[in-house]
């Protein structure tokens, strides 16, 4: 009897040790998680490189192929440019004192200036001559891309009307703003020809219940008539935020599952889907190199 009791206590002790070790390992793993920008190689292998952006504040980083640098807002409300090799510098904006309302910093199409949202307005700041120009009213965002420039005069932006998002095609030179469509759009991505990709939230009503299931999907919007086409269902809206990018052949997006953030590729011609990368770090930016 004593022998059985001793064996039971020994097994219980081993289980407690194992559980404690697992708990410590999980806490250690969680503590080691970093905020990173993922660069996806455009080759057939589509290798991923992680650039650490630990002080990135708002989960909306941008990347420039020409300079091989990332751009983001840090926790001190500073705009930081960081090389893929680790060197970084602060871009000082003359004329205004940036606060926690600055977000959505992006490179301009010609890489000669940067854009950012500040107090609900989109500004352009020239790196060379240090000039600051208000481009248009915008929508503030702490984690999503809500505007996109094709060149320094034309592009797209989202405006929140209080119930959903309105997508506009804008030209700052002529001052025109043409509404393309009204959807529950969270974020917009790269323009391909006359189409733009967007992350949409939609309500999926339950057949046998009065509850509504909010879900995410990536859609393709025709800028000429506002028509949409679903490219990929992403699942429940509460599962986490999603980032996406694209080139001429592939759409790449991040989906949070458990403690990992998985990167998937969709071939735009065939619709074939494949997981190409997985990380325990927090992805705050995604770009195709």
Tell me, what's the pLDDT at 7? Answer: 34
CA–CA distance, 208 with 211 (Å, rounded to integer) = 9
CATH code, domain with 205 = 2.120.10.30
Cα–Cα distance measured from residue 233 to residue 221, given in angstroms and rounded to the nearest whole number = 15
Instruction: Say what the pLDDT of residue 193 is.
Output: 81
- Residue 163 inside a domain? The answer is yes
Q: Is residue 64 in a domain?
A: yes
How much is the pLDDT for 243? 83
Closest CA to 127 of 96, 172, 91: 91
| pLDDT at residue number 18 | 43
Rounded Cα–Cα distance for residues 103 and 136 (Å): 15
Task: Answer yes or no: is 144 within a domain.
Answer: yes
Residue 217: half-sphere exposure toward Cβ, Cα within 13 Å: 17
Query: Could you tell me if residue 5 is inside a domain?
Result: no
Residues 225 and 169: their CA atoms lie apart, in Å, by 11
- The residue with tokens 């700052």 is 172
Indicate the number of domains in the chain. 1
Q: What is the pLDDT along the chain (289 residues), one digit of tens a residue?
A: 434 433 333 333 333 334 433 433 343 344 578 999 999 987 777 889 999 999 998 878 999 988 999 999 999 999 999 998 989 999 999 888 999 989 999 999 887 899 999 988 899 999 888 999 888 887 766 567 889 888 888 899 998 887 888 999 998 888 889 999 998 888 888 888 888 999 998 887 665 556 678 888 999 999 999 999 998 888 887 666 678 888 888 888 888 888 899 999 988 888 889 999 999 999 988 888 7
Q: Does a structural domain hold residue 205?
A: yes
What pLDDT does residue 31 have? 52
154 domain residue, yes or no: yes
Query: How many CB atoms are located within 10 Å of the residue 221 CB?
Result: 24
* In the block, residue with structure tokens 């000669």: 112
| pLDDT for res 3 | 42
Report d(CA 190, CA 139) in Å as an integer: 18
Residue 123 belongs to domain spanning: 34-288
Domain assignment present for residue 7? The answer is no
- Tell me if 269 is assigned to some domain: yes
> pLDDT value at position 132?
92
Model pLDDT, residue 244: 85
Closest CA to 219 of 184, 265, 257, 254: 184
- Strands 185-192 and 121-126, bridge-based pairing: unpaired
């Amino acid at each position: 009897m004593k022998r059985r009791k001793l064996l039971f206590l020994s097994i219980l002790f081993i289980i407690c040790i194992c559980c404690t070790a697992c708990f410590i390992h999980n806490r250690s793993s969680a503590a080691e998680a970093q905020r990173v920008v993922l660069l996806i190689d455009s080759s057939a292998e589509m290798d991923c490189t992680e650039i650490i952006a630990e002080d990135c504040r708002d989960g909306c980083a941008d990347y420039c192929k020409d300079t091989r640098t990332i751009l983001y807002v840090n926790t001190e409300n500073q705009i930081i440019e960081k090389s893929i090799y680790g060197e970084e510098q602060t871009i000082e904006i003359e004329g205004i004192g940036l606060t926690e309302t600055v977000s959505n910093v992006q490179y301009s199409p010609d890489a000669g200036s940067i854009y950012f949202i500040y107090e609900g307005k989109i500004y352009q700041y020239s790196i060379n001559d240090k000039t600051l120009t208000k481009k248009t009213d915008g929508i503030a965002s702490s984690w999503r891309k809500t505007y996109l420039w094709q060149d320094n005069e034309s592009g797209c932006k989202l405006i929140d009307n209080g119930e959903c998002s309105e997508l506009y095609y804008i030209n700052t030179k002529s001052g025109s703003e043409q509404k393309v469509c009204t959807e529950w759009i969270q974020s917009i991505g790269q323009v391909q020809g006359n189409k733009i990709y967007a992350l949409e939230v939609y309500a999926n009503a339950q057949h046998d219940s009065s509850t509504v299931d909010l879900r995410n999907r990536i859609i393709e919007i025709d800028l000429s008539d506002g028509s949409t086409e679903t490219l990929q269902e992403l699942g429940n809206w509460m599962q986490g935020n999603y980032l996406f990018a694209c080139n001429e052949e592939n759409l790449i997006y991040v989906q949070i599952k458990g403690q990992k953030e998985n990167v998937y590729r969709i071939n735009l011609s065939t619709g074939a889907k494949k997981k190409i990368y997985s990380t325990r770090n927090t992805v705050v930016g995604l770009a195709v190199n």
